[in-house]
Amino acid sequence: MRLGSVSAMDLRATGFRAAALLAAALLAAACGGGERGSAGASGAAVPDSARRGGTVVVGGQAEMPGVDPLAPPPDYMAAQVERYVLFMPLVQLGPDMGFRPWLARSWDVSPDSTEVVFHLRDDVTWSDGEPVTARDVAYTYRKATDPDIAFPNRAYFDRWDSVRVVDPHTVRFRIRPYSQFLFGWTQVPVLPAHVLEDVPDSALATHPFGTSAPVGDGPFRFVRHDQGDRWVFEANPDFPAELGGRPYVDRLVYRVIPDEATALAELARGDVDLLLDLPPQDVERVRSESATRLLTFPASTYAFVAWNTRRPLFSDVRVRRALTMAIDRRAMLEAVRHGLGSVATGPLGPWHWAYDSAWRPIPFDPDSAEALLAASGWRDTDGDGVRDRDGRPFRFTLLLPDVQVRQDMGVMMQADLKKVGVDLRPATRDFATLAGAIQDASRPYDAFLLSWSEDLVIDDRDYWACDRKDGPLQFSGWCDPTLDAVMDSIPAALDRAVKRRLLRTYARTVERAQPYTFLFNEDRAVGVRTGLEGVEMDVRGELRTARSWWLRPGAR
Amino acid sequence: MLRYTGRRLLEAVPLLLGIVTLTFLLLHLAPGDPTTAYFNPNIPPDVIEQMRRNLGLDRPLPIQYVDWLRSSFTGHFGYSFSQHRPVAAVIGDALPNTLLMSGISLVLIFVLGCAVGVVQAVRQYSPLDQALTVGALTLYSVPGFWLGLMLILLVSTPAVSSWLHLPISGMTSIDYEFLGTWGKILDRARHLVLPVIALGLASAAGVARYTRGAMLEVIRQDYIRTARAKGLSERQVILRHALRNALLPVVSLLGLYLPLLFGGTVVIEVVFSWPGMGRLLYDSILARDYPVVMAATFLFGALVVAGNLVSDLLYAVVDPRVRYGEGR
């Protein structure tokens, strides 16, 4: 299973439409103010009937490529619409990233963990009136794993071997045991077999199902799509009452507003109710205006510098620690993200349930950094301002994506490191070239700077495990056999407390070795118009609670 | 005239072929392809390979090129990689929006530009002329996107929005579907106001400068003196005798402004969230959506060629001395 992905910010600037799992690096605020997570405030006293009605307009930067869950390219926004608006996955992720029933009322796992039986709800129908049945689940599984379809996240079902429909509401799978086996079913919603099964594979990607005629079973139904402009959804009156029933709002509209200044003006005017992905520099404005409020939450994205420990320059842990201590990460976070995030304490960020709020980042301490460098043999013997050892100066190249923010970060690092006698040479690469270089088997780099989004279920063996040292994602080349044992037991751990302990051990071990300098964790920020209530967001996505959003009468 | 038009159309064929061939080469020489857009380690290499196969990117370049030519001759243009729809449908959605905005801008550019230019020429060196000159030069040097943003900010300030409630983005309001026929027309017109101003004002200022110069030249001619001597009213002298001659060089500007206008839509469409060709082209280049980029460049090229032809033909219409294709 693979984890994580490059943050969309790095992609976007090279020109690529956001891809990645969890991405779009923008936002949020340790810098004070701003509601964390929820913006529902005083809603409790308002009866259900008074919450009904109105249209919520959600503003976002990019058009969605379509809402067919299996068709590439993967898109952050489209995935949320598929998961929380138009369709229903079998299972949902709880706040602790545990699995909760959704379209599946329940599931049984055989004692040897090789068989899973899902019991589906019998009160869910597709928007064309057909019931949702086990046949739909089987169809979804077959297409998601069909090599000809090229479903990008096929790896979700790597350990799923076969499917059998037992009866209309029961479906049985054979699997190979894995504790996070249900994760794929939280990400991939069930598709309507009766609409799609007669469509030949080659025609599936261009079938109107994905763009102009989706048939769904989620809390909202498709109304219309005006290319490059908007997607319109309406409340599904038949959504099961047990799962919350019909959404409060009548309509949900996703509007594409590519220009950030225009989008902010629309939010301030009240023509947009919710603005996704606020750039850090706009956060203060949204917070201060009376017509809007700010919502921030930690994303699973962190910015880091990977040190190539295969090279002698970075093979010594004291040197890597010294470099981290020499970089003023707090100042960097303030400068490039206006404080929207937190200085990193290792690979596990505050978004994760196993994160320990008592963790403190390695301090910014140039004096200790100099002492550590001297202790490991790096001294400025020739008085040129750059430390040297055995006649070699401490000089290296830092690869950066061609994104302004990253280049700014490179320049700040250069200045910080210069003060401790280390000569950093920033080198910008377009994204395709950088991606090629960092995954190249010959590891042709000293260090590079990037931001990365973790999968919601942590399994980081591809980054650190000794047996994956030649894998494309073992960027640093550092590994530790005792850590391997810890990481191997994380996926299998079923007990919550055990799992938490293992994850924390993992995070601490990596932090101590500093194969990366973890720079900062990113928060995301969303602007909400006053009068829109019931909005709750976290790392699972911005639209997760869309079915319980409601508008105060004056805001409808 | 007919022969001339035919010859110009024939000349356009190798030109357009050159444009698409160059575009094709540039697209494929640029680093990355549509599958690079998902640098996501969750996606195994064999899936990426299959995606490339599904998009037909695994075939040799010459074959992809010939295939594209063949499909474009049938007017189909293939399928969009990023939008999962036929390219013809994708462009069919965007093109009318751009034509609407740039068409109205074009009218604004020439009507407003000529009117201001004429007024300035007639009142040369008056305070009005000087004020308009300053205004025109200022507008001429303002980039369209900046003007657009300033307009948005201006219209959004409470002082202005209380009496002038103009929409600042998109083509229609959220409740558009529920409006009556007149409501719909009015709604669309209101959405056009700001983008058209932002797109056209700078060019209108340019046309005004040009018209003023051309008029001043014409007004000094002997036949204008003759017209005045005949006792014609000043109005007739200016509008019937002077303007028609002064417009000759201005008409040839049309051919120059068309490419400028289409170029301008890229930025203006982003600022005003206008779902047109400019944004489509930009997004498609970023997504490496080859079929859409190819078709859109081809279309822009064809429109510019057609615009130039029309402006040359118009030249013959307004200037009786110009006769194409005769005596050759």
Q: What is the pLDDT of residues A129-151, one digit of tens each?
A: 999 999 999 999 999 999 888 89
Separation of alpha carbons A354 and A497, rounded Å: 9
Nearest CB to A432; choose among B31, B85, B272: B31
Structure tokens at A286: 């949204």
Contact A50, A254 (CB under 8 A): no
Preferred mutation among B95, B174, B290 to probe A, highest tally of A CBs within 10 A: B174
pLDDT of residue A33: 41
Contacts of residue B37 in chain A, CB cutoff 8 Å?
11, 16-17, 19, 73
The percentage of chain B sitting over the pLDDT mark of 70, rounded to a whole number, equals 96
Contact A483, A446 (CB under 8 A): no
- Summarised one tens digit per residue, pLDDT across range A259-289 is 999 999 999 999 999 999 999 999 999 999 8
The percentage of chain A sitting over the pLDDT mark of 70, rounded to a whole number, equals 92
Confidence band, pLDDT 50/70/90 cuts, at residue A32: very low
Q: Provide the shortest C-alpha distance from residue A212 to chain B (in Å).
A: 9
Contact A294, B312 (CB under 8 A): no
Preferred mutation among B28, B33, B39, B151 to probe A, highest tally of A CBs within 10 A: B39
Preferred mutation among B29, B33, B35, B36 to probe A, highest tally of A CBs within 10 A: B36
For the ranges A171-175, A225-229, B84-88, B240-244, the lowest mean pLDDT is seen at B240-244
Contact A432, B32 (CB under 8 A): yes
Closest residue on chain B to A78 (Cα): B83
Nearest CB to A255; choose among B82, B168, B170: B170
Contacts of residue A11 in chain B, CB cutoff 8 Å?
37, 39
pLDDT of residue B42: 66
Task: Give the CA angle between residues B242, B248, B254 to the nearest 5°.
Answer: 135
Closest residue on chain B to A156 (Cα): B42
Instruction: Inform me whether the pLDDT recorded for A411 exceeds 60.
Output: yes
Contact A172, A120 (CB under 8 A): no
Provide DSSP, A378-408: -B-SSSSSS-EETTEE-EEEEEEES-HHHHH
Contact A54, A247 (CB under 8 A): no
Nearest CB to A66; choose among B32, B84, B94: B84
Separation of alpha carbons A216 and A124, rounded Å: 10
A66/B170 CB distance under 8 A: no
Q: Is the dihedral of CA B300, B306, B309, B311 positive or negative?
A: negative
pLDDT of residue A30: 31
Instruction: Inform me whether the pLDDT recorded for B95 exceeds 60.
Output: yes
Rg of chain A's alpha carbons, rounded to an integer?
Answer: 25
Amino acid at A542: E
Q: What mean pLDDT comes out for the span A550-554? A: 92
A152/B174 CB distance under 8 A: no
Q: Provide the shortest C-alpha distance from residue B287 to chain A (in Å).
A: 5
Instruction: Inform me whether the pLDDT recorded for B270 exceeds 50.
Output: yes
Contacts of residue B85 in chain A, CB cutoff 8 Å?
206, 211-212
Separation of alpha carbons A383 and B161, rounded Å: 65
Closest residue on chain A to B94 (Cα): A227
For the ranges A56-65, A159-168, B59-68, the lowest mean pLDDT is seen at B59-68
Q: Provide the shortest C-alpha distance from residue B96 to chain A (in Å).
A: 12
pLDDT of residue A44: 58
Amino acid at A204: L
Contacts of residue A6 in chain B, CB cutoff 8 Å?
39-40
The mean predicted confidence, pLDDT, of chain B is: 87
A2 or B195: which leads in pLDDT = B195
Confidence band, pLDDT 50/70/90 cuts, at residue A12: very low
Preferred mutation among A233, A259, A267, A282 to probe B, highest tally of B CBs within 10 A: A259
Provide DSSP, A238-253: TS-GGGT-S-SSSEEE
Residue recorded with tokens 């490496």: B288
Region of B32 (left: φ > 0; alpha: ψ -120 to 50; beta: rest) is left
A102 or A2: which leads in pLDDT = A102
B93/A227 CB distance under 8 A: yes
Taking alpha carbons only, the member of A385, A349, A355 closest to residue A370 is: A385
The backbone torsions φ and ψ at residue A425, rounded to the nearest 5 degrees and listed phi first, read -110, 110
Structure tokens at B237: 């002298």
**Per-residue CA distances from A164 to A131, A137, A161, A189, B64 (Å):** 18, 10, 11, 18, 41
Contact B311, B5 (CB under 8 A): no
- Summarised one tens digit per residue, pLDDT across range A363-394 is 999 999 999 999 999 999 988 999 999 999 99
A10 or A291: which leads in pLDDT = A291
B42/A155 CB distance under 8 A: yes
A17/B287 CB distance under 8 A: yes
Separation of alpha carbons B65 and B189, rounded Å: 41
Q: What mean pLDDT comes out for the span B57-86? A: 86
Contacts of residue B287 in chain A, CB cutoff 8 Å?
16-17, 65, 73
